[in-house]
Structure 1
Amino acid sequence: MSPLLEAEQAVLGAVLLDPSQLQQLGWLAPEHFGRPVHRALFAAMRKLHADRHPALAVETSVPLSWVTDTVAEAGRHVRGLTASHAHSLISACPRPGHAPVYGRMVLEGAIHRSVTAHAIRLHQAARADALQGEVKGSLRCADVLRDVLTDLARRWGTEPRPVDPGTPPAPASPAPPPGWAKGAEEEQILLGVLAERPKGLEEVVGWLRPADFADPARGEVYRCLGALHHRGEPVDRITLLWEAQRRGLLADGALSSDQITAICDGVGPGSAEWLGEQVMRSSVTRTAAASARAIRALAEDETLAPGRLINHALHALGPFDEVRTRWQAANGRPAPTPSAALPNGPPSAQVHAALARSAPRPISPPSAPSGFTPSSAAVRPPSRGHG
């Protein structure tokens, strides 16, 4: 059994033994539990707590009705739940007073799962956009991922801010879908148009960068074209080849004379702005996919603390944000403003509870529960019992 599953069982067992523990778990939500039955039980406990169940008014031993009513309420949403399952959860709780610590473990596991799931959605949206020649799905999923990271940071009790992980993860790089291969063809055509009509650079130089080219060699050719045009020098096959040599691109094998010849002799006139937008669109989806892979690799690292995971993930979204800003400029649209505080974010009291969640409550003297007798080896003395 994994430590995370044991933590889920322990926090549920603690609340079954002592419903007042819910007051310290306001930052924990049912969806943070991995198993559906655990989500249903915690949701049932919160509902009974909100309805002021009679067990909440008891100062000494907790009535057995708290357990039976919790099971009955949760049983409306999941099948096969019995009172024996609730008793096994109670037996799995070493110390009811440590419920905030167990809850922190559950929240930590939920943060890793949630970031992983949204990173996968972003990558899927980027691949779909690449195939369809769109960017809407990538932009939307990136916004959702950023909002999720911000919300998780507040629940964890930390300030969301991009932090460089130092050594970036090395996720596997699957073969790009056909949509990105088509973008490579458009890159070749764009360079030919710019070599034929260098003034076309004025239409794209404000927002198109060498890094937007899928092929680094074509990105370097674009850089050489921009340098020649900036200096007011003529552009043709010879001058472009000379510029590439001055930059050491021929010596290190990054470019060859055949590649430059193919670019200069390959195409005729065309719209540099339109072709630049196609290259930019491909760059948006490609960068979204790269950010998604990096974030997923971070989330799958179980040794990474939630605060660091959130901030490293925000940093991994940085390259996409930069490309997105230039995409908006290319299309004459204003860049999106950062999301404001989420309306459904936890209130300040819950944030304060999250910051103090590691402090366990003092354990009160045990009281024997009635209606069942768990094994003394399985159950440590609880803070409150069922009477």
Structure 2
Amino acid sequence: MRPLLQAEQAVLGAVLLDPGQLPRLSAWLRPGHFYRPHHAALYAALLKLHAAGHPGATPQPSAPATRDMKAGTWPATPTAGSDQRLAWMDAAIAEANSTEVRGLTAVYLHTLIAACPRPAHAPVYGRMVLEGAIHRTVAAHATRLHQMARADTLRGSAEDTLRYVRVLLDVLSDLARRWGTDSRPVAPPTPLPQPAAAHQPPVSEKLLADEEYLLAVLTAHPDALGDLVGWLRPEDFAETGHGRIYRCLGALHHRGEPIDEVTVLWEAQRRGALADGTLTAEDVLRLCDSKSAAGIADYLGEQVVRASLVRTAADAARQVRALADDESLAPGRLIGYAFHVLSPLEDIRRRWRAATGAPEAASATPRAPQPTARVPSSRADAARARSRPHPPPSPNARSSAPSPVSSARSSRRSPS
């Protein structure tokens, strides 16, 4: 049995055995956090019954059963507490089966109860369920971002990609708040593996043609470089050799030197582009042929930046999905690493907006994640606890003891 399934059964069994555990869970654990639909429906039913004040949710203490000393047996009549417990379970089954989920039985509820070692550990079991939900949520939204980027590549647009990058960032911020960690980028200790070339989407012939023609236009009209160098970067080009030539053009423009096929070829040689095999002299002369170049450099540059934005988003989505698939990664680190992977998109988005002159749209553009103002109080809840709760301090020591929030801040060095 997977640990996640065991955790879901354990937390539900704990609540069925001890409904008093629900207030410790309801503030941060939602039905949607459960992987199995039957578990989500049952947890939603228990929350509803508890909120409605079902008698079984707050069982009254009853007098302990006494043994008949003459007969040597215990009374067969069930106690008031057991009656309430049975009513609590029956009502939970009826409420859960009234939804779209069917098939919950009393037998399965006893299976859930048997899967719970300690009802008092319900918040810890709930934290495990939340961990699984965080991984699944990040994976699902990363997959959706990748799909949007692929669709924008075919359409020649970027708006849907930008919108869903914003959605993913908002989701990560919400998950960080629920888990009690900062919504900020955290660099992983080792570089993340880059997608293999076989998994890279093919670059369209039209984009390559636009890049080649842009280089020819810039060679023929070097003055246009003044408008492009502020928002077009060599790494925006899909073809590495094209980016190397653009870097040469930018260097010549920066130094105020003449620009033509020969000067660009010489600069490419000085920068090692010919020695490392990225380009040949024939490639440079062909790409910088300015005899028939007549076009609008700004428009061609916009297409290059747009394609770079969508391509970078697709690569980032694959990396975030790979992080989410790593079940050994703690939620705090998963969220921080995901923010780190997505952070380069902000620079490309800003440059593309500058190139197109489009206004900033908060609903469609990614914003840099802001650190949370404080650690949420739920961080101190037992659901996030790494150790057993300590007894409350004495009244004399209470005035000098640090607050739970400040203690959590000082003790947490990195997301967990």
**Are positions 1:64 and 2:86 aligned together?**
yes
Q: CA deviation at 1:251?
A: 1.4
Which residue in 1 is equivalent to 2:399? none
In the alignment, is the contact (CA less than 8 A) between 1:68 and 1:83 conserved in 2?
yes
Distance 1:143 1:279 in 2: 22
What is the DSSP-based 3-state SS (H/G/I as helix, E as strand, rest coil) of the residue aligned with 1:279?
helix
> 1:268 is paired with a residue of what secondary structure?
coil
Number of residues of Structure 1 aligned to a counterpart in Structure 2: 357
Post-superposition shift, 1:168? 2.8
Contact preservation (8 Å) 1:170, 1:297: no
Contact 1:131 1:178 in 2 (8 A): no
1:354 CA displacement: 6.6
1:80 aligns with one of 98, 103, 106:
103
Report the equivalent of 2:20: 20
1:44 aligns with 2:41: no
Instruction: Give the alignment's Cα RMSD to 1 decimal.
Output: 2.2
DSSP-derived class of the 2:381 partner: helix
Q: Distance in 2 between matches of 1:48 and 1:103?
A: 19
CA distance in structure 2 between the partners assigned to 1:150 and 1:182 by the alignment:
37
Structure 2 partner of 1:185: 209
The residue that corresponds to 2:31 in the other structure is: 30
SS of 2:349's equivalent? Answer: helix
Contiguous gaps of at least 5 residues in structure 1: 342-346, 363-387
Distance in 1, Cα, partners of 2:86 & 2:39: 19
Deviation at 1:203, TM superposition (A): 2.1
Given the alignment, which residue of 348, 353, 370 partners 2:381?
Answer: 353
Amino acid of the structure 1 residue aligned with 2:52: D
Q: 1:204 aligns with which of 224, 228, 233?
A: 228
**1:3-42: per-residue Cα shift (whole Å, max 9, x none)?**
1110000001100111111111121111111111111111
- The structure with higher relative contact order (CA 8 Å, sep 6+) is 1
Q: Matched residues in 1 for 2:332 and 2:243: separation? A: 36
**312, 322, 330: which one pairs with 1:297?**
322
Aligned equivalents of 2:325 and 2:51: distance in 1?
35
Could you tell me how far 1:184 is from its partner in structure 2?
A: 2.1
CA distance change for structure 1 residues 245 and 234 in 2, over 3 Å: closer, same or farther?
same
CA contact (8 A) 2:346 2:368 kept: no
Q: Which moved more, 1:224-233 or 1:326-335?
A: 326-335
Aligned equivalent of 1:165: 188
Deviation at 1:215, TM superposition (A): 1.3
Flag the 1:354–1:135 CA change in 2: closer, same or farther, 3 A: farther
What do residues 38-85 of structure 1 show as CA deviations (whole Å, max 9, x unaligned)? 111111111111111112332444521111111111112201111211
Deviations 1:302-352 (A, max 9, x none): 1111100000000000111211111111122355664899xxxxx955454
CA distance in 2, matches of 1:295, 1:251: 36
Alignment of 1:82-161 (within 5 A): 82-161=105-184
The residue identity in structure 1 corresponding to 2:328 is T
Partner residue in 2 for 1:220: 244
Identity %: 55
Measure the CA separation in 2 of the matches of 1:16 and 1:361: 23
Task: Provide the secondary structure at the position in 1 that maps to 2:288.
Answer: helix
Q: Which runs of 5+ in 2 are unaligned?
A: 62-80, 391-416
Compared with structure 1, are the counterparts of its residues 24 and 359 closer, same or farther at alpha carbon in structure 2 (3 Å cutoff)? farther
Question: What do the CA deviations read for 1:140-179 (whole angstroms, capped 9, x no partner)?
Answer: 1111111111111111111111000132332543454456
Matched-pair contact (CA < 8 Å) for 2:10–2:117: yes
Name 1:310's counterpart in structure 2: 335
- Counterpart residue identity of residue 68, structure 1: D
Assess if the C-alpha contact under 8 Å between 2:339 and 2:369 holds in 1: no
| Structure number with bigger Rg | 2
In structure 2, what is the equivalent of residue 275 of structure 1? 300
The residue aligned with 1:6 is 6
TM-aligned CA distance change 1:178 to 1:169, over 3 Å: closer
Task: State the SS of the aligned residue for 2:188.
Answer: coil
Q: Distance in 2 between matches of 1:200 and 1:230?
A: 13
Amino acid paired to 2:107: S
Give 1:278 deviation, angstroms: 0.5
Instruction: Supply the distance in 2 between the matched residues of 1:74 and 1:110 (Cα, whole angstroms).
Output: 21
Matches of 1:336 and 1:240, distance apart in 2: 39
1:235 maps to a residue whose letter is I
Question: What CA deviation, in whole Å up to 9, does each residue of 1:219-239 have, x standing for no partner?
Answer: 111010011112121111110
CA contact (8 A) 2:11 2:122 kept: yes
Separation of aligned partners in 2, 1:172 and 1:179: 15
Which whole-Å CA distance do the structure 2 matches of 1:161 and 1:84 have between them?
46
TM-score by length of structure 2 reads: 0.81
Which stretch has the larger CA shift, 164-173 or 133-142? 164-173
Distance 2:105 2:122 in 1: 23
- What is the distance in 2 between the residues matched to 1:12 and 1:4? 13
Task: Report if the CA contact (8 A) 2:28-2:178 is conserved.
Answer: yes
